[in-house]
Structure 1
Amino acid sequence: MAAAPLRTPDGRYIVVRGRLWRCANPALQAEQSKQWVNDLMAARRAVATARRHGDDAALAAARQRVDAAKQALGERGAVWWSDGAPDLNRRMARNTPYADWYHQHAPDGQP
């Protein structure tokens, strides 16, 4: 089983291959979060199915569903924190204010 990804001290991001990815909003109710995660997984399966069948219309619709679920979870769109900190989603950790922390906590061999 793979180890859990490194999570920033403020809980806003996980780090995957040196890149920050925004976490879901921890203030979401457990049932809400579960439902949106289920919707997200179903939409991702729909993306794969549409690709396999070469169905561009279904692919576009499935991608919209993925985006809607990710926004509802807080992984995209407006940030869920309120302290005015910028969104650093998809940025390399070494090029962000998390750089020193990342250098101290990154597994060996991480960029």
Structure 2
Amino acid sequence: MTAEPESTEDGRYVVIKGRRWRATDPKIPEQRDAELRSILMDWRREVKRTSSAPEARAGVQATKVALGERGTPWWEQSDDERRRRWETELPRPGGERKS
């Protein structure tokens, strides 16, 4: 089992190898968080397989936004905005859609 990364005191960022990255929105329900991470890994594999095709990079971006790691910071959004963000339907590589 891997250890949780160090996070900043306010919980908004994680620190990995000395670099600060935006943390995943902590309000995302556990099941949806797992689904989004699965979609993200599918897109990351697609980036590697296709030598960074624009569609694959866009899939990674959309999933990172749904997780709250990119786009408007989750701590600046209302609860309704946050929920809409993570409930957004996202495609997987190959066109399969996952809500």
Same fold (TM over 0.5): yes
Alignment equivalent of 2:57, drawn from 46, 59, 63: 63
Q: Tell me whether 1:78 sits opposite 2:72 in the alignment.
A: yes
Q: Give the equivalent residue in structure 2 for 1:91.
A: none
Q: Give the equivalent residue in structure 2 for 1:23.
A: 23
TM-score normalized with structure 2 length: 0.70
Distance 1:74 1:35 in 2: 14
For 2:27, give the aligned amino acid: A
CA shift at 1:4, angstroms? 3.4
Percent identity at matched positions? 42
Distance 1:40 1:31 in 2: 14
Q: Secondary structure at the match of 1:15?
A: strand
Alignment of 1:10-49 (within 5 A): 10-49=10-49
CA shift at 1:17, angstroms? 2.3
TM-score normalized with structure 1 length: 0.63
Q: Secondary structure at the match of 1:77?
A: coil
Q: Where do 4+ consecutive residues of structure 1 move more than 3 Å?
A: 1-4
Distance 2:37 2:2 in 1: 20
**Which one has a bigger Cα radius of gyration?**
1
Q: Unaligned 5+ residue runs, structure 2?
A: 78-99
Q: Give the equivalent residue in structure 2 for 1:93.
A: none
Structure in which a larger fraction of residues adopt strand: 2
> What value does the CA root-mean-square deviation take over the aligned residues?
1.9
Paired residues in the alignment total 77
Distance 2:46 2:9 in 1: 34
